[in-house]
Amino acid sequence: MLSFVSEYVNASLGMGYGTTLTPILLLLGYPPDVIVPTVLLTGFITGLVSGGSHHTFGNISLRRGSPDRRIIALLAITGTIGSASAVVVSSSLSNQAVRAYISVMVIVMGVLVFVFRNHRIRFSYPRIFAIGAVAAFNKGISGGGYGPLVVSGQILSGHGVRNAVGIACFTEGVICAIGFAVYLALNGGIGWLQGHWSFYVPVVVGAVLAAPLASWTTRMIVRTVDLRIVVAVLTCLLGSWTLWKTFA
């Protein structure tokens, strides 16, 4: 149930799955070395499902030559580098330092989206490249922090809000696949999966069931709500909540 709700929010607005679910599972007593790879595995599967759903409902276009497809390819490249390197260096950083860093960055991005919500911004690939690398690094370290940066970063780079949400969902699946593969390689390989079936199966199933419904929601709410304001507010709330939990 927790996974379903977290993924519904994530696939509707392009953010919030790992950022929401990870601290909740920590509060329930699950260890980080089980939570993070499970979130990465789930993100890989649901990223493909929600990305395909966003394409079906017209939020993004995965057709050859489309701008959305080019942005996805760019974010996938930067994400592969950022996610893999983050998993490698994560062992040398404290959980508190990582959480604080991601929280502050997410809050700043949310504020910028709100401030520039009425400005017409010229589209920029270099900004998307930089945002994608940093966001993937966040994902590889903590299992969260990718969506808020990628969605808000695309908006600040001049891309459409609905497109930004769909692209974030799809590319997050690619980033999670890389991070999960590196995690397994550094922690005993596929044997890790055999001891945690009862945990990650319900997490994956709950998220997969939510993805198509959330993609349809994105298409509907964009007609009546300024998603830039929703993204800005939710990003700031997620960042503030994570920062508070870090030092509480």
Give how far the C-alpha of residue 90 lies from the chain's centroid of Cα atoms, to the nearest Å. 18
* Alpha carbons 72 and 105: distance in angstroms, whole number: 22
pLDDT at 101: 73
The low-confidence residues of the chain, meaning pLDDT below 50, are none
Q: Which amino acid is at 83?
A: S
Residue 151 · residue 165 · CB < 8 Å: yes
Distance, in Å, from the CA atom of 161 to the CA atom of 40, rounded to the nearest integer, reads: 25
Which of 49, 77, 40 has its CA nearest to residue 184? 40
Q: Are 51 and 169 in contact (CB under 8 A)?
A: yes
187 within 8 A of 166, measured Cβ to Cβ: no
- pLDDT for 4: 93
Question: So what's the pLDDT on residue 189?
Answer: 65
pTM value surpassing 0.85: no
Q: What is the pLDDT of residue 67?
A: 87
Confidence at residue 209, expressed as pLDDT on a 0 to 100 scale: 92
The SS3 assignment for 60 reads: coil
Q: What is the pLDDT of residue 239?
A: 79
Contact 202/96 with Cβ under 8 angstroms? no
Q: For residues 199 and 180, what is the distance between their CA atoms, to the nearest angstrom?
A: 16
